[in-house]
Structure 1
């Protein structure tokens, strides 16, 4: 679990929307894995629509110099998780239980990317989300759908009582 910013909201203590908007607004830091990927969360709307940017590095290219499908999958995973979680109340999360991705075009590591995800169904037990990755010029690179299981999560321990 990532370290929480002392002045910002903690995961599970505020609604998913408040938590994700705090990341987009720079109130709390981006999740470490998203930072590693070069993913920057630009916005999260009230309906759960997520827009993010990614600036890939050369390390994310395959031997042909094109962005690796695993890298693109990880970006889509991050965006759909953010969209699904943004629709959860205090004390609930929505981890992935299924993902299906399609790679429609290729791009090299110098391509700035825009990732857009939105919940397509929000139920009491599952959330479905759709995602697209486009170049900044608008060319569709990849798309997909994910399913997330809604579950209660334990609030993070109080810093003063943690072992």
Structure 2
């Protein structure tokens, strides 16, 4: 980075929307856990609606070759966290405090998925979010809701942990 380049967006130092859009735009790297899952953030709109793509690997399948519920839960966790964080101002985060997921259909581990999450309530102390996972053809695989606790963060102290 040259002396004229602005600093990269950092969690808690810019708004949640700016941070999540920087990931979607490839300005900053995808979080390591999302990379492990094969989750790529495609977009985050002004209302916090998140769209991402998931590219599962065989390791995420059960013995029948269908995606494991733990993998689908992790995708929903990542998407709802992104949606909740995108509605936070500078210096605030919104980690999960509750999650409820439903598995409605099975999915083959070779099929790419579309994950969509949106905040359904944004308050001063909590954010609620809803999520769906669909096949590219539109078949609903899983859905759920989460609750996130809004908290102030010290971006410098929490740099490695606040983005969960």
Q: TM-score, normalised by structure 1?
A: 0.92
Matches within 5 A, 1:6-155: 7-155=7-155
How many pairs were matched up? 153
Runs of 4+ in 1 over 6 A off after TM superposition: none
**1:14 shift after superposition:** 0.2
What is the alpha-carbon distance in structure 1 between the residues aligned to residue 100 and residue 108 of structure 2?
22
CA RMSD of aligned residues (A): 1.3
What is the alpha-carbon distance in structure 2 between the residues aligned to residue 8 and residue 119 of structure 1?
26
Kept after mapping to 2: 8 A contact 1:51/1:116 = yes
What is the alpha-carbon distance in structure 2 between the residues aligned to residue 137 and residue 27 of structure 1?
30
**1:7 shift after superposition:** 4.3
Q: TM-score, normalised by structure 2?
A: 0.91
**1:8 shift after superposition:** 1.5
Q: Which runs of no fewer than 5 residues in structure 2 stay unpaired?
A: 1-5, 158-164
Report the 3-state secondary structure (helix = DSSP H, G, I; strand = E; otherwise coil) of the residue aligned with 1:72: helix
What is the alpha-carbon distance in structure 1 between the residues aligned to residue 76 and residue 8 of structure 2?
26
What is the alpha-carbon distance in structure 2 between the residues aligned to residue 147 and residue 106 of structure 1?
25
